[in-house]
Amino acid sequence: MTLSPCQGWVEEYVAGALTGWIYRPGAGGAPLLLLALVDGVARGACLANLYRGDLVSAGVGETGYHGFRLTMALAPGETVQLVDPQDGVPLLSPFTRPLIMLDPTAPTERADCRFGNIDTNVGTSIDGWCWNPAAPEKHLTVMALVEGVVVQETVAGKQRGDLVEAGIGEGDHAFTLDMPFWMLDGRKRLVHVHAEGIGLLNNSPVSFQSTARGPQHLLAQLAAAVPPERQEELEGTRQLLAAFLAENNVIHPRSIGFARYEEWLAAMQMDLPPNPTPQLRWPLEGPTPEDTVFRCQAAAGDILFLIDAGVRLLPGALDRALTIFTQTDADLLYTDADMRLPGKPAVPWFRPDWNYDLFLSQDYMRGLVLVRAALLDQAQPLASLPAVKMMATEQARPGKIIHLPEIWASIERQAENQALWLDVVTGHMQRRGFAGGSVALHPRWPDLRRVQWPRPAWQAPLISLIIPTRDRLDLLRPCIDSILTRTRYRPFEIIIIDNQSQEPETLSYLAQGSRQGRFRVLSYDAPFNYADMNNQAAQVAQGTVLGFINNDVELISPDWLGEAVSLLARPEVGAVGARLRFANGMIQHGGVVVGTGGLAENAFQQCHVDDEGYFGRTQVAGNYSAVTAACLFCRKTDFLAVGGFDAQNLPVAFNDVDLCLRLRQQGFLLVWTPAIDLFHYESVSRGRDMAPERRARSMKEEQYMRHRWYHQAMSDPAYNPNLNLDGRPFRGLALPSRHCWGGPLPGVATLSAGQEDAV
């Protein structure tokens, strides 16, 4: 397919940066990646994605996000050519310093745009940046005023990648003004945004209109107002707008803090349909005094309702849960809940979809659970609620454990049946043929459990540990020493991939260690390509289990390899990831959440290793959509079967996430466990991607991931759709929720009136 030529304008070179705008007509507004060449040598790279209100006003471009600010050195008289980094094709005419106007009729950049800008005002907040070049390290105060009254104030100190690329200070001059909840009522208001020492920012004032239930709710209201005779005529337009709004939620996710949970919950419940004549009534106003099971005859068959002790059901909970149970043909259904312990604020407990390893580690279904009665073995009476839940999960059909991500229960006291769970989980492991495993309560949090699977009964498999390096003996030596001196498990081999090391001390260390049999050395004489070098090492590895290890990690837990082998002895497990910590004890990797920022983010980087995290997730094993390859274990046969790492499209970044997602496509589980514990000094040996070629490559990898796995961005099964996608995972509430409260679950048709009446 022949691409249309680009349109754009290089405006000026000032303060060490080249500025302008560019877009490709007919490309849907996709931002272009630019590589700057001077005499054929790369000087810089950037993504043309800065918002330009002047382009929008002039009717130029397709989205307004076509501006660029490329930091680079350019001497007077030198000429720069902006090219496509993939094929080197020029995108705009060459630019020579001093300034040459390529098109004097094109819109000019406002002078104040270099010092601050309002970028977006979608969702629940106003985003932008401001910077004073005279005081480049100062973070300016920003205020939002409505009718002359300050309604919100913040400091422009957030880091933003496009500001780094544009050379705006150190990139930490962005801000987010979260509007007060009373402004999320759908009314339109004019907001003036002022920055300290600058005044009114570019594109201010802005027209702010938002609703806590999101733009999809407004679209539904508009669609309902369309006359019946025109519904079919406008259906295509409605679907197009719905798709656009869904994509906008990925590109510009918004959230509010957990402190606003009560207001958030009230807004979400407004979408629940009225239920004037409930079919099922729960007689208790307060929490249930003890674990309770009652049977209901419904159209779907006999259903058991399981309600834990200390749980208060919200009005309509039974009807709503039964409706979704019937719609989805579920065998087991559980809802979300909140914790309302005495003297503490309410905290929402938003659960993942069916998460086997987390279920064994804690009763994350606690609250309201519905079970198909036919699943249970009537010949063996089940003495406890934990036993009922476990048996139901064992007997449920694949894909028929359903999660309803809505709050329908309030937990008002701590669980008291933890000792029962120890026997229940142990019995489950024995029924699966894993006798010899152990289950213990967490010493600090008794509602959490440490599940240890038994080692394989056959001969212990050989593990091949693959470690790439380029010099940096100061990192490699402690890594190797910690493995050799602290690891209890045998047998294992170490394969060091030498990527063009030059330092004599490193070469001597590698040669000596190889002669002594401490490790094997595989030479990789090519530019750094993490994916390719690990693929080559995997081919020659002798072990049946592969361990991909960074050279900047240091072992903490001696039984790490035994833990990995025990988990991989389960046929459903495709990969195992570790808890990685910074030197100060803060968590660097607690699993990977797919979709955060449109890509993926490590979870719990705001937590210390001794913190509970979000309802214990940092302290127990659980299933995630991906784990990092800084320490990742998998079977060699599975790794080769899915094609290994993608060396062509993801040579450096995101290849581990991509690998995990492909393993998940094959039906495997990905297990993250804190029992495998290491220090990780992230990217110390390779450094940050600041060189022009590295920046261009990094942007290309990000674009590939967004294209390849876009469908995962809104539906990570290990992450609740009511939790935020902006910033770090598990930090706040998505607004609006990515789940339609009160509606059917995705892919499920609504019941007919006749089916509902059959209850």
Closest CA to 263 of 177, 346, 146: 346
The token pair that represents 741 in the structure block: 């409260």
User: Given a cut of 50, is residue 757 above it in pLDDT?
Assistant: no
Residue 3 contacts residue 39 (beta carbons within 8 Å): no
Region of 21 (left: φ > 0; alpha: ψ -120 to 50; beta: rest) is beta
The token pair that represents 735 in the structure block: 């607004």
For strand 332-339 and strand 368-372, is the pairing parallel, antiparallel, or unpaired? antiparallel
Q: Residue 161 — φ and ψ, nearest 5°?
A: -60, -40
Query: What string of DSSP letters covers 354-381?
Result: S-HHHHHHS-TT-SEEEEEGGGS-TTS-
**CA pair distance 48, 366, nearest whole angstrom:** 48
**CA pair distance 172, 161, nearest whole angstrom:** 9
**CA pair distance 229, 234, nearest whole angstrom:** 10
The token pair that represents 635 in the structure block: 């079977």
Which of 5-19, 372-386, 555-569 shows the lowest per-residue confidence on average (mean pLDDT)? 372-386
Share of the chain above pLDDT 90, in %: 51
User: Given a cut of 50, is residue 219 above it in pLDDT?
Assistant: yes
At residue 480, what is the residue type? Answer: I
CA distances from 723 to 349, 367, 745 (A): 10, 19, 17
Q: DSSP secondary-structure letter at 95?
A: E
Closest CA to 117 of 148, 140, 146, 150: 140
Q: So what's the pLDDT on residue 211? A: 65
Mean pLDDT of the chain: 85
Which of the given ranges, 42-56, 172-186, 376-390, 564-578, has the highest pLDDT on average? 564-578
User: Given a cut of 50, is residue 116 above it in pLDDT?
Assistant: yes
What is the tens place of the pLDDT at every residue in 453-508?
Answer: 999 877 799 999 999 999 999 999 999 999 999 999 999 999 999 999 999 999 99
pTM above 0.85, yes or no: no
Mean of pLDDT values over 257-270: 83
Number of helices followed by number of strands (H, E) in the chain: 17, 39
What is the tens place of the pLDDT at every residue in 594-637?
Answer: 988 668 999 998 899 999 999 999 999 999 999 999 999 999 99
What is the tens place of the pLDDT at every residue in 676-722?
Answer: 999 998 654 444 445 666 777 778 888 889 888 877 766 899 999 99
Q: So what's the pLDDT on residue 134? A: 80
Q: How many angstroms separate the first and last alpha carbons of the chain?
A: 56
Grade residue 759 by pLDDT with cuts at 50, 70 and 90. Answer: very low
Which of 49-58, 635-644, 658-667 shows the lowest per-residue confidence on average (mean pLDDT)? 49-58
**CA pair distance 720, 715, nearest whole angstrom:** 8
Residue with tokens 């040996």: 685
Q: What residue spans of 490-648 are helical by DSSP H? A: 504-515, 530-540, 560-568, 636-641
Mean of pLDDT values over 327-355: 95
CA distances from 701 to 533, 615, 655 (A): 17, 33, 9
Find the helix or strand (DSSP H, E) in which 520 lies: strand 520-523
Mean of pLDDT values over 107-131: 67
Mean of pLDDT values over 35-54: 87
Q: So what's the pLDDT on residue 688? A: 47
Mean of pLDDT values over 334-356: 95
Q: So what's the pLDDT on residue 299? A: 74
Mean of pLDDT values over 119-134: 79
The token pair that represents 80 in the structure block: 């720069």
Closest CA to 455 of 572, 567, 576, 557: 567
Grade residue 100 by pLDDT with cuts at 50, 70 and 90. Answer: very low
Find the helix or strand (DSSP H, E) in which 7 lies: strand 7-14
What is the tens place of the pLDDT at every residue in 133-179?
Answer: 888 889 999 999 998 888 888 999 988 767 876 778 888 899 988 87
Q: What are the residues facing 81 on neighbouring strands?
A: 37
Q: So what's the pLDDT on residue 4? A: 72
What domains appear along the chain, each with residue ranges and CATH number? 7-109 (2.60.40), 112-208 (2.60.40), 215-251 (no CATH), 463-719 (3.90.550.10)
The residues, ordered by sequence, that sit 6+ positions from 741 with a Cβ below 8 Å of its Cβ are: 268, 269, 271, 272, 406
Q: So what's the pLDDT on residue 109? A: 37
Grade residue 31 by pLDDT with cuts at 50, 70 and 90. Answer: confident
DSSP strands (E only) in 582-630: 587-589, 592-594, 600-602, 622-623
User: Given a cut of 70, is residue 321 above it in pLDDT?
Assistant: yes
User: Given a cut of 50, is residue 107 above it in pLDDT?
Assistant: no
**CA pair distance 706, 136, nearest whole angstrom:** 33
Q: Which residues of 444-483 are buried (b: 16+ CB within 10 A; e: fewer)?
A: eeebbbbbbbebeeeeebebbbbbbbbbbbebbebbbebb
Grade residue 105 by pLDDT with cuts at 50, 70 and 90. Answer: very low
Which of 182-191, 266-275, 369-378 shows the lowest per-residue confidence on average (mean pLDDT)? 266-275
Which of 246-260, 440-454, 514-528, 637-651 shows the lowest per-residue confidence on average (mean pLDDT)? 246-260
Which of 154-168, 194-208, 507-521 shows the lowest per-residue confidence on average (mean pLDDT)? 154-168
Q: So what's the pLDDT on residue 173? A: 92
**CA pair distance 476, 700, nearest whole angstrom:** 29
Find the helix or strand (DSSP H, E) in which 402 lies: strand 401-411
What is the tens place of the pLDDT at every residue in 229-263?
Answer: 777 766 777 677 666 656 555 555 667 778 888 88
Q: Which residue has the higher pLDDT, 742 or 632?
A: 632
The token pair that represents 477 in the structure block: 């030596």
